[in-house]
Amino acid sequence: MTLTFPLRAGAVATGESDRAAILANPGFGKHFTDHMAVARWTVAEGWHDARIEPYGPLQIDPAAAVLHYAQEVFEGLKAYRHEDGSVWTFRPEANGERLQHSAQRLALPPLPVEDFLTSLRALVAADQAWVPAYGTGETSLYLRPFMYASEAFLGVRPSHEVTYAVIASPAGAYFSRGVTPVNLWVSTQYARAGAGGTGAAKCGGNYASSLAGQLEGIQNHCDQAVFLDSATHEYIEELGGMNLFLVYRDGRIVTPELTGSILPGVTRRSILELAAEMGLTPQERRIAIQEWKDGAASGEITEIFACGTAAVITPVGELRWEGGSCDHRPAGAGDEMGEVTARLRSMLLDIQYGRVEDTRGWMTRLV
């Protein structure tokens, strides 16, 4: 049976001037809208009790399995205001399908993609005033669907009760500095994920396991850490919250192949398709960290960028590691992003904000 998410009254709407002040400078992940979508799953009843209710703290039993065994998955996508006032989102079926794969890996019940889409539509319809106006820079309403084991039980087995929810947060640039190059630390002490693990699932545990590496990066004056494969520590995987692309002088644009321990990003996948249309040669293959260092030294690698829903496309600056560093950018290049990075970035944003025709059927109208 398909779910509907009826609106429950009772939300205290944020005042118009307070909302306008937030939308004028939303930052990332700091402010939340007036409602949230919630549904429950039990072994006996399946998915049920779906609704849009006032945003607020969730009741959670201290014995809930998620708090002890991290049985949880999530998604991230954005709602964009178009010039005519309509609100759209980008490839939501891909997120719905990935949520199903992530849920399967974490032994959570799959939510039908149709119900996933209904939950987004219902929440954005209730909180449409929170979608930033067209033409206000790279602002959007970030949607965060998530699902967790809510059964109060301390035995280690898949939870018999699960909660699904979607919250929404007006968003500007992911990094507080805006779109400037991020410096990366090569984490050799920590891996984000390993063979047979949960690296390809979007689960909170992967992000938790990336934090010690990120901290190590910050201690070494970097913004983020780049994680290598856990078996050999030779091959690039991802940043923890973003995929990576290397651009070569000869027109190749290369990203680590999906080995099972890398998140299959929706932005990653879209860039591979757009790059081919731009006449570049996209490749998915293993990339040794040594290839990065050598390519930066020889000038063969001309641009490097990270990508994800939240950060869109973010240029990478220096790479640093224990005892060394390299920079693929020519000396004195400053913070300008490379030409390929900039073209891909505007192609993607033009599609998302409806500034060009959506010839690929990537956009779905929400409101």
* Cβ closest to ligand COI, residue 29 vs residue 158: 29
Question: Interface mask (CB under 6 A) for ligand COI, residues 27-66, using x and -?
Answer: ----------------------------------------
Site for ligand COI in 290-309 (CB under 6 A): 308-309
Q: Minimum distance between the CB of residue 153 and ligand COI, rounded to whole angstroms?
A: 28
By CB under 6 A, residue 76 contacts ligand COI: yes
Q: Calculate Rg over the CA atoms of the chain.
A: 21
Count of other CB atoms within 10 angstroms of residue 116: 24
Burial class (CB in 10 A: 0-12, 13-18, 19+), 357: exposed
Nearer to ligand COI, 78 or 293 (CB): 78
Q: Which is nearer to ligand COI, 50 or 266 (CB)?
A: 266
Q: Which of residues 335-364 bind ligand COI (CB under 6 A)?
A: none
Binding string, residues 235-254; x marks residues near ligand COI by CB under 6 A: ------x-------------
Query: CB-wise, 53 or 75, nearer to ligand COI?
Result: 75
Count of all residues that appear for the chain in the document: 367
Give min distance, CB of 74 to ligand COI, in A. 7
- From 60, 36, 59, select the one nearest 127 (Cα to Cα): 36
Nearer to ligand COI, 275 or 313 (CB): 313
Of 207 and 248, the one with the shorter C-beta distance to ligand COI is 207
Closest CA to 199 of 156, 258, 119: 258
Q: Which residue from 148, 150, 164 is spatially nearest to 61, judged by alpha carbons?
A: 150
Q: How far is the CB of 167 from ligand COI (least distance, A)?
A: 13
271 burial (CB, 10 Å; 0-12 / 13-18 / 19+) is: buried
Site for ligand COI in 91-150 (CB under 6 A): none
- Which residues, in sequence order, are CB contacts of 77 under 8 Å at separation 6+? 89, 90, 91, 92, 95, 120, 142, 143, 145, 266, 309
| Helix residue spans in the chain (DSSP H) | 16-24, 65-69, 92-105, 113-126, 204-219, 266-277, 289-298, 339-352
Site string (189-228) toward ligand COI, x via CB under 6 A: ------------------x---------------------
Binding site for ligand COI (CB under 6 A): 76, 207, 241, 308-310
